């Protein structure tokens, strides 16, 4: 009975890309807070097991586990949403890539757009019922200040020459715009959606873009982990944060463009 009550009082947090530099640090920071069960959403079972073991050892929280999902695949995300029926209180969309060459998923979608943009969008939508039943619940979209050049007529670099930096900046602009569109739609359900820049951290993702990164993963995870666990993440919605402060987001100011991007993503 006591065990049941303890489980009922636990908040369930999901973190994508938790085998990577910042995602693992976000998952650890949440696991270190009292009352959280954390599920790492990863594509590689071996790496996921290692990350689970590391986070349990360093946080002392035994309630850390993993589920396998490829966030670049709508089918894989929908299968995850079928398996994972518990109320969800926190979803951190963080998994992203910066491949140097243009690649496509097996469904024929440009890989960076599928992973960084549609992955966040599909997962949030696929888990809406679970977030609703976890309400008050929140979604944290790990975006970036390194954002811009979104071309609504060429989201997949079919017309423009592919460049991983431009494709990345576009994807992070899209994360920030879709945060607003999703926040508007989910507010009636008691689900908030906010975006943030984490920190500048050396990782496969940043190294592929030619960046080193001067912050530790722990420091880089501070703002997303704070939005995931602090009251601010439930009080605010549709906002963009840097260094634990709300910042003006110029990408959210053109509501027609935000809506057009939302509709474009719905078509996938």
Ligand X SMILES: NC(=O)c1ccc[n+]([C@@H]2O[C@H](COP(=O)([O-])OP(=O)(O)OC[C@H]3O[C@@H](n4cnc5c(N)ncnc54)[C@H](OP(=O)(O)O)[C@@H]3O)[C@@H](O)[C@H]2O)c1
Q: How far is the CB of 38 from ligand X (least distance, A)?
A: 14
Question: Quick one: which H or E segment has residue 144?
Answer: none
Residue (11 or 172) nearer to ligand X, CB: 172
**Residue 241, both tokens:** 């944060």
What gap in Å lies between CA 59 and CA 15, rounded to an integer? Answer: 16
Residue (30 or 97) nearer to ligand X, CB: 97
**262 given a catalytic annotation:** no
Contact 217, 22 (CB under 8 A): yes
Q: How far is the CB of 8 from ligand X (least distance, A)?
A: 30
Instruction: Annotate 71-108 with b (16+ C-beta within 10 A) or e (fewer).
Output: bbbbebbeebbeebeeebbbbbbbbbbbbeebeebeee
Which residue of this chain has its Cβ atom nearest to ligand X in the complex? 20
Q: Catalytic residue among 168, 240, 262, 268, which?
A: 168
Residue (21 or 109) nearer to ligand X, CB: 21
SS3 content of the chain, % helix, strand, coil (to 5): 50, 15, 35
Q: How far is the CB of 95 from ligand X (least distance, A)?
A: 3
Residue (31 or 97) nearer to ligand X, CB: 97
Q: What is the largest CA-CA distance in the chain?
A: 61
**In the complex, which residues of this chain contact ligand X (CB under 6 A)?**
16-17, 19-23, 42-44, 47, 70-72, 94-97, 115, 142, 144, 172, 197-198, 200-201, 203-206, 213
Active site residues: 168
């Amino acid at each position: 009975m006591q065990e049941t009550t303890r489980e009922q009082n636990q908040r369930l947090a999901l973190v994508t890309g938790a085998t990577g530099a910042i995602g693992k640090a976000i998952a650890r920071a949440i696991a270190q807070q009292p009352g959280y069960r954390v599920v790492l959403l990863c594509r590689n079972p071996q790496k996921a097991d290692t990350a689970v073991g590391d986070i349990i050892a360093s946080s002392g929280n035994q309630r850390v586990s993993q589920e396998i999902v490829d966030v670049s695949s709508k089918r894989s995300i929908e299968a995850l949403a079928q398996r994972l029926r518990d109320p969800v209180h926190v979803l951190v969309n963080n998994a992203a890539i910066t491949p140097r060459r243009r690649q496509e998923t097996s469904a024929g979608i440009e890989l960076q757009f599928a992973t960084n943009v549609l992955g966040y969008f599909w997962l949030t939508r696929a888990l809406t019922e679970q977030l609703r039943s976890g309400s008050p619940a929140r979604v944290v979209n790990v975006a970036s200040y390194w954002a811009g050049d979104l071309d609504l007529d060429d989201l997949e670099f079919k017309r423009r020459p592919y460049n991983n930096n431009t494709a990345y900046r576009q994807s992070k602009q899209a994360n920030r715009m879709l945060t607003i569109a999703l926040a508007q739609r989910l507010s009636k359900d008691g689900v908030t959606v906010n975006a943030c820049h984490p920190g500048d951290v050396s990782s496969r993702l940043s190294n592929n873009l030619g960046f080193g990164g001067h912050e530790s993963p722990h420091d880089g995870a501070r703002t997303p982990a704070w939005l995931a666990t602090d009251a601010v993440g439930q009080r605010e919605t549709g906002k963009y944060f840097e260094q634990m402060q709300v910042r003006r987001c110029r990408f959210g100011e053109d509501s027609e463009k935000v809506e057009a991007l939302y509709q474009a993503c719905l078509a996938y």
